[in-house]
Amino acid sequence: MFSYLRERFTSHLRERSRRRARLVSKDGRCNIEFGNVERSRFVFLIDIWTTILDLRWRYKMTIFISAFLGSWFLFGLLWYVVAYIHKDLPEFNPSINHTPCVENINGLTSAFLFSLETQVTIGYGFRCVTEQCATAIFLLIFQSILGVIINSFMCGAILAKISRSKNRAKTITFSKNAVISKRGGKLCLLIRVANLRKSLLIGSHIYGKLLKTTITPEGETIILDQVNIEFVVDAGNENLFFISPLTIYHIIDKNSPFFHMAAETLLQQDFELVVFLDGTVEATSATCQVRTSYIPEEVLWGYRFAPIVSKTKEGKYRVDFQNFSKTVAVETPHCAFCLYNEKEAKAKEKKGYDNPGFVLSEVSETSDTKM
């Protein structure tokens, strides 16, 4: 038992050591960090709105609660100071004819409650500002205006966080693997993408980037060098009618970075294929981007996707997501170069060739026959 567990642990460590680093995870998150940034972190406070929106929910809710509690307590202290300066508190033994700045403030707790009632406009009617103190009137106006600003900012940040378009991106899914097979007589790399909602993405556009390490002729090593990968569907890659799952494909021709790869050498390659889908959310008109990535282990050579759309007897179209990432093995050339050489050979067989050195010699035939 111990030897079995040790073997499993060793194999797990080997698998982790072989695991390739990814820039973009399968769910679209970027695996990158910034080091030695010269500019101060306080520069992010200049764009405080974007900073608040980018925060995680637990930090956002902490700021939300702290902003309200902090403002209530701060103004509670100010109301207590006003009452203390005007000698409205019970410890000063005010006379019967004494008119306080704020009625029924007897201590710090009552000052905090009055601050809360003022800022959230509850107005219980038990505590109120009198016309005796101009300072109290000014403080009431200032707290009311600042309370509206805090409410607008924090509630707007919460609403914007909820309605961010990247939440819509979670209902767009890509196939687990990419496949390479023949399509329309050409060798293609195919990926399946589906919209899990019935609402469309308007003006959708699909494209890809191949990330790899390259060495320039000058000897410079470029990590994460980007190469454009054009993806198309049968109707083009602009303004997709994205109501049902689509199979996008990249034609592996002589201009493709996959042209010199083969089935035997694919796993030895070091690249990451990042696929992007841009569109506009129909409900909110906000732009949305969905992305995923594929490494060589996730590209299957010689496979195609299983059918996913069928038509029922009632005339409805049914999408079976059980077959969304399912693949089927098909006969496929082991490299693009071989496929194009085969096509050229067949094309040459159908053509005739003139031999300029060939001379037709005429032979005269005689009808006389010797007996």
Helix (H) or strand (E) holding 281: strand 271-281
Q: Tell me which residue has tokens 């949305």.
A: 288
Q: How far is CA 105 from the centre of its chain?
A: 53
Contacts of residue 231, defined as CB under 8 A and 6 or more positions apart, other chains included, come to 191, 206, 207, 208, 237, 248, 249, 250, 275
Q: What are the residue ranges spanned by the domains of the chain?
A: 51-163, 168-349
120 token code pair: 């959230």
pTM for this entry: 0.68
* Burial state string for 278-295 with b = 16 or more CB within 10 A and e = fewer than 16: ebebeeeeeebebbbbbb
Give the 3-state secondary structure of residue 83: helix
Distance between CA 310 and CA 307 in Å, rounded?
8
> Which of the 8 DSSP states describes residue 98?
-
Q: What pLDDT does 13 receive?
A: 46
CATH class of the domain comprising 168-349: mainly beta
CATH top class, domain 51-163: mainly alpha
Half-sphere exposure of 210 (CA within 13 A, CB side): 16
Q: Which residues in 27-58 are b (16+ Cβ under 10 Å) and which e?
A: ebeeeeeeeeeeeeeeeeeeeeeeebeeeeee
* 17-68 pLDDT per residue, tens: 445 678 888 877 887 777 766 666 677 777 888 888 888 889 989 999 999 9
Per-residue confidence (pLDDT) for residue 350, from 0 to 100 = 55
Q: Which residues of the chain have pLDDT under 50?
A: 13-18, 369-371
pLDDT of res. 345? 52
CA distance 15 to 147: 56
pLDDT at site 146 = 94
Q: For residue 10, what pLDDT is reported?
A: 58
Nearest 5°: the CA angle 115, 160, 116 is: 5
pLDDT attached to residue 365: 52
Q: Residue 260's pLDDT is what?
A: 86
| Predicted local distance difference test score (pLDDT) of residue 76 | 94
